[in-house]
Structure 1
């Protein structure tokens, strides 16, 4: 199993994570605090210095594309489909090489997965470059985030402008906000990487269970890429390629080990109940008790955005009650009843 996971440091993926950290602003810090952790001075200082380099216009564009409603996540598609490119400007070049219609269709593929016809079929191909058909598709797709929906519509109606704005933003952010700090960022990751390499080598099953929050990885011939991230900080996020011949990616925060340092039973129990003390997480557990669900389905059922689903799933995975499997080129979330009931049983037995 360990041979199928390639732990690496990807500058393009770290660039993407830095943009989310900058674009969500205080939301990024709050996500770290939700794990009962305080962000260290390294990351807060880095973010402050990076923000100083940005003009008011670029800050507005950064928020537009990389806040919780933004479409900047589409950059991950270019990264996972070009895994040999290890320089940020090379990935930006890939974005620029796409026509505006190709770029916008990648956005449509991500946000309208449930309403698009099966990939590769004539019906699927008939949507490419057809503005009216795409606009109708958007109207037929359920969006929990109206801001995101309006931005997708704007992209379809103004593909050239949106692509130009996005590539201009990427080029500017790379030049003034990322490149000057890239060596320091990579050095921070390289300092932590040997520990994670050793943990994966010594006990791959424990590493996968603890850090990737899944019981096991299914056989996936291309294997998996695990990027260690400074800006992810803690916890893990999965990026599916949705193609059998392309590697899936995991992004793991380099400070994730902090989540497992405390062995005190009482504190673990307190954290367990704190994670469960949220109506959305309880609702997710109830749905998963029926059958496995994938993220978009959960978002629609709960009337919340997909990023919000991922946010709550992260906590449930952290305490081990939710795992996921890769089936039909999707990540399906599953409830682990034993891991949900065992802490409750241990808590009751303690009395």
Structure 2
């Protein structure tokens, strides 16, 4: 008899703590601190006290030079792995968790050319065809002079455009680049991480036990609603979930085909339930219903459904003042229902129709289960 999807998920997914993975996530968090705080604001949550303390302690303990190196390799975009991509590959290609110290030592044997190639992939994975100009990626791996020429001619995605020059610098000096990142990893581990590794592990493992219980009860629902992914991907790619205190919020699925078979790791934010879980769904529903407790906000949305309007048009149509337009729009901005774009020297309000559909569906789900 064929096992059910829930049975297959229970068989293929495990929860385990990977210290090496937490090290590089923590380095990314420290390098992208301002991005992390902005992301927390977007999700309407506060960074927890441990994350605050870790970030401040990192800045205090690292020398200015080491902190600049941290930002050079890790500080480009916390959600888009770039120059740090090779570090993730080297850890997540191994199905078993590693200590941070063991992983740093193992990296000594990794050729600089391999790491630089993975850096290129990290920066250009969403523009790889444009970068290669018809060439085969497998055949281009390790050819740093070719990759440097291609990188020079191809701007990365706009979100990580500023990684182009640092990447070219690394490609021009591969052995020096390796010395730099090995020194950075060792220094960060010695000066910062070793002081925090036990508290980070303890907090992560506490959360991991909670999430593992939720997963075991309803695997498919957990993957869809809190991991925000399709359960079927874990049928062909067994995975280990690393619940990360440093990540705070996130669902990064890294999967690789190795000589030993398929390997997958999920970096799962410790506060994911607050953002993606049933409590978050209920909070969003409450805010959505509250937004339309005033008839004028419903009229506001129905007006924008016809076409974008600028502020004075909305005020005239609804019979309210421009100040009242600002007041009512705040409720809709908070739910990402509207956005503002400048056109013809005016600021036009636009309705996010897909977001409206999502909130209507979410409201039905919460209220009707």
Question: Normalising TM by the smaller chain, what interval?
Answer: 0.7 to 0.9
Q: What is the Cα deviation at residue 340 of structure 1?
A: 6.7
Tell me whether 1:81 sits opposite 2:93 in the alignment.
yes
**1:1-351 aligned within 5 A:** 1-68=9-76, 71-113=83-125, 114-115=128-129, 124=137, 126-143=139-156, 144=158, 145-241=160-256, 245-259=261-275, 260=277, 261-262=279-280, 263-264=282-283, 265-267=285-287, 274=334, 276-277=336-337, 339=358, 342=361
Once residues 279 and 161 of structure 1 are traced to their aligned partners in structure 2, the CA distance between those partners, rounded to angstroms, is 46
The answer to whether the 8 Å contact 2:83/2:120 transfers is no
C-alpha change, 1:148 and 1:197, in structure 2 (3 Å) is same
SS state at 2:256 partner:
coil
Give the direction of change, closer, same or farther, for the CA distance of 1:225–1:156 in structure 2 (3 Å limit).
Answer: same
Larger Rg: 2
Q: For structure 2, which runs of at least 5 residues remain unmatched after alignment?
A: 1-8, 292-330, 341-351
Q: 1:286-312 deviations in whole A, cap 9, x for unaligned? A: xxxxxxxxxxxxxxxxxxxxxxxxxxx
Separation in structure 1 between the aligned mates of residue 338 and residue 199 of structure 2, nearest angstrom: 37
Answer whether contact 1:85 1:91 (CA < 8 A) is retained. Answer: no
Q: CA deviation at 1:268?
A: 5.0
- On the 8 A contact 1:107/1:152 being kept in 2, the answer is yes
Change (3 A) 1:343 1:210: closer
Aligned to 1:289: none
**Distance in 2 separating the partners of 1:213 and 1:23:** 26
Shift of 1:338: 7.1
Contact 2:84 2:119 in 1 (8 A): no
Query: Whole-Å Cα distance in 2 between the matches of residues 275 and 158 of structure 1?
Result: 47
SS in 2 for 1:228: strand
Would the aligned equivalents of 1:95 and 1:103 in 2 still touch at CA under 8 Å? no
Aligned CA distance change for structure 1 residues 8 and 203 (closer, same or farther; 3 Å): same
1:278–1:7 Cα change, 3 Å: farther
Partner of 1:312: none
User: Relative to structure 2, which stretch is displaced further, 337-346 or 155-164?
Assistant: 337-346
Aligned length: 290
How does the TM-score come out when normalised to structure 2? 0.69
Whole-angstrom distance in 1 between the partners of 2:17 and 2:245: 10
In the TM superposition, residue 156 of structure 1 has moved relative to its aligned partner by 1.0
CA RMSD of aligned residues (A): 3.2
Q: Which runs of 5+ in 1 are unaligned?
A: 281-315, 323-336, 347-351
Instruction: Check conservation: 2:94, 2:263, Cα contact below 8 A.
Output: no
How many angstroms does 1:22 deviate by? 0.4
Question: SS of 1:226's equivalent?
Answer: strand
Q: Deviations over 1:115-160 (max 9, x none)?
A: 3769xx9x54553443431222213544123321111111111101
Deviations 1:262-320 (A, max 9, x none): 5253325669964535769xxxxxxxxxxxxxxxxxxxxxxxxxxxxxxxxxxx9xxxx
